[in-house]
Structure 1
Amino acid sequence: MNGEQEVPRDGERSARGPEEAVGPPAWTAPPGTTHAPGVPRNAAAARDIVSRLLEEEFCGLGGEAPADVVVADALLVTSELVTNAVRHGGGLMAFSATITDDGLLLTVGDASTRAPVTAEHTTTLHIGGYGWELVRRLAARVSVTYHEDGKNIVALVALV
């Protein structure tokens, strides 16, 4: 699997070392800071980056742009990953978005070594806890790589 570690739909595995790293190396924040240079400050800024990237990539291609629902899925995955990094991961430490032959490749790094959690919902109304489940459903592929100072989550969103 080219050094990637897939997260099974029903479980989790931690990476066994740097040879399993996915995405760019983690950025290490200087003492007393939590924000990496060039990393968006919040989910809205990350969505703007992805929106501009999609627009630049597909502008001028005539009718070949991704459908609105596909773009909405890409923006939702972006928003969920960044929001989870900020709320539950100790802060957003890395972010990249690139277009590949397979789709939109997102890498989000945070400062937590805790695995993403899928909340178990009962029949009662539950607010929150659906983000990781949404990411896993909407992304064609998701992998998590753990390192000493946190983790990187890489999600591939198909653009067809």
Structure 2
Amino acid sequence: MNGEMEHPVDGTISGNGPGDAARSAEPPYTAGGTGVAPRNAAAAREAVTRLLASWPSGPAGKGLAEVVVADALLVTSELVTNAFRHGGGLTGFTAELTGEGLLLAVADASTDAPVTSPHPPRTAHVGGYGWPLVCRLAERVSITFHPGGKRITALIALT
């Protein structure tokens, strides 16, 4: 689509995975119904919290497990924070509930892929933990590069 190239992370994207869903969600701003990208990670977490509150009840009429919500909010926060901190600014944000879980798409103005920097053992290091956390907590992650930036799409299972 428009010369975009999608790159699965860790080879976990299927042909009909979140990258496909992210491409169909134009414009890339939804999650609060306002049509405006969140101004910061806290606003993105708030939008996702409202969205998750609408998820159908789990076993015995209970909502989502606290750990599932915490994981979803952590992934949201890391992706949005990284877009601002390393990606030249947030240019798009979607969050939607699908049959598979929470589908997040975060776009920024950088064409650089996220980097995982190895930390030497027994050294104090600040930062560099967000991207590995996103990859670990998400069911699937993909990066779609396009002229002027990229979009990272992550699927977080809610079961």
With the length of structure 1 as denominator, give the TM-score of the two structures.
0.79
Q: Which runs of 5+ in 2 are unaligned?
A: 12-19, 29-34
**Contact kept? 1:26, 1:152, Cα under 8 Å:** no
Cα drift, residue 49 of structure 1: 0.2
Which residue number in structure 2 is paired with residue 118 of structure 1? Answer: 116
Give me the whole-angstrom Cα distance separating, in 1, the residues matched to 2:149 and 2:70.
28
Which residue number in structure 2 is paired with residue 77 of structure 1? Answer: 75
- Please tell me the residue identity of whatever aligns with 1:118: T
- Please tell me the residue identity of whatever aligns with 1:39: A
- Please tell me the residue identity of whatever aligns with 2:117: A
- Please tell me the residue identity of whatever aligns with 2:154: A
Matches within 5 A, 1:98-137: 98-123=96-121, 124-137=123-136
**Contact kept? 1:43, 1:82, Cα under 8 Å:** yes
Question: Does residue 41 of structure 2 align to residue 39 of structure 1?
Answer: no
Question: Does residue 156 of structure 2 align to residue 157 of structure 1?
Answer: yes
Give me the whole-angstrom Cα distance separating, in 1, the residues matched to 2:70 and 2:8.
24
Q: Secondary structure at the match of 2:8?
A: coil
Give me the whole-angstrom Cα distance separating, in 2, the residues matched to 1:156 and 1:50.
13
Give me the whole-angstrom Cα distance separating, in 2, the residues matched to 1:55 and 1:40.
18
- Return structure 1 stretches of 4+ with deviation > 6 angstroms: none
Q: In the TM superposition, what whole-angstrom CA distance separates every residue of 1:81-139 from its partner, at most 9, and x where no partner exists? A: 00000000000000000000100000000000000111111120111110000000000
- Please tell me the residue identity of whatever aligns with 2:133: L
With the length of structure 2 as denominator, give the TM-score of the two structures.
0.79
Give me the whole-angstrom Cα distance separating, in 1, the residues matched to 2:79 and 2:8.
16
- Please tell me the residue identity of whatever aligns with 1:72: A
Which residue number in structure 2 is paired with residue 15 of structure 1? Answer: none
**Contact kept? 2:58, 2:64, Cα under 8 Å:** no
**Contact kept? 1:40, 1:95, Cα under 8 Å:** yes
Q: How many residues align?
A: 139
Q: In the TM superposition, what whole-angstrom CA distance separates every residue of 1:7-47 from its partner, at most 9, and x where no partner exists? A: 127xxxxxxxxxx89434577xxxxxxxxx60000000000
- Please tell me the residue identity of whatever aligns with 2:115: V
Distance 1:128 1:58, change over 3 A: same
